[in-house]
A and B are shown apart, each in its own frame.
Chain A
């Protein structure tokens, strides 16, 4: 099946710094990618929908100035957590659906962010 990669898989940063997470579709083009956040023992919550070449659509309650999303190409979307705080510590997962493909949505392996 199609492959989605995320980098880094784990990151630890100091409070106040910014962290960039990359999501790549390795063998297909994805005009739309999704960013989810998952707190421990909870479900995935959609943060934003990333559209290639246009602004991301953020879910209610998600600060667009804090979670910057850039979908610069058909295979890459980035999520930047700006001025990270300990409460931003979470598991961030991206997903993508192959354009013109089937129904499956492919998930990246996730990035575990810890803010000290």
Chain B
């Protein structure tokens, strides 16, 4: 089974509007971390936001917020007030356990296109 699933291969959003990118995960490990990365056409991976499995509150970083629903095993990324520069690929990822050496498993990605 897929550990990280992103069901939206592509999304359009109007500039200045909010958009939600879906991510569901599968793990039996009680300790895990969820990440969102942005990958523009240049290829670099840009860290956006992190949510730990034991965090009580949803993570927020500027215009990015993570809608963490533990029971549903979902960790959707919400981008508020979309900007043209937000157009990129977005990847959800999970690290199981809390060891610094644990790898990230990535979802298939969602391509976000912001329309002017």
Mark A residues whose CB is within 8 Å of B.
1, 31-32, 34, 38, 42-46, 49, 51, 91, 93, 95, 97, 99-101, 103-107, 109-110, 112
Interface string of B72-85 (1 = CB under 8 A from A): 00000000000000
Bound-state CA distance A60–B41 (Å) is 29
Q: Is the CB of A97 within 8 A of B100?
A: yes
| B103, CB-defined interface residue at 8 Å | yes
A106 touching B47, Cβ below 8 Å: yes
Q: Which of B47, B108, B109 contacts A105 (CB 8 A)?
A: B47
Residue interface bits B16-44, CB-to-A below 8 A is 1, else 0: 00000000000000000101010000111
Interface size of B by CB at 8 A reads 21
Known contacts A42-B108, A97-B101, A109-B44; 5 additional CB pairs below 8 A are A44-B106, A46-B105, A105-B35, A109-B43, A110-B45
In the complex, chain A residues whose CB is within 8 Å of the CB of B101? 31-32, 49, 51, 97
Tell me whether B33 and A103 are in contact (CB under 8 A).
yes
Mask of B42-69 contacts with A, CB within 8 angstroms, 1/0: 1111010010100000000000000000
Residue in contact with B104 in the complex, picked from A1, A31, A42, A105, CB distance below 8 Å: A105
Residue of B nearest to A93 (CB): B45
Q: In the complex, which residue of chain B has the Cβ closest to the Cβ of A50? A: B101
Contacts of A91 in B (CB 8 A): 43
* B49 nearest CB neighbor, chain A only: A104
Quick one: which of A32, A49, A104 contacts B47, CB cutoff 8 A?
Answer: A104
Name the CB-closest residue of B to A106: B47
Cα A42 to Cα B106 in complex, Å, equals 10
Q: Is the CB of B52 within 8 A of A44?
A: no
**A95 in contact with B104 given A104-B47, A105-B35, A107-B45 (CB within 8 Å):** yes
Q: Which residues of A contact B91 (CB under 8 A)?
A: 43-44
Task: Quote the shortest CB–CB distance from A26 to chain B (angstroms).
Answer: 15
Q: Within 8 Å CB of A95, what residues of B?
A: 45, 104
- Point out the residues of chain B lying under 8 angstroms from A42, CB to CB: 108-109
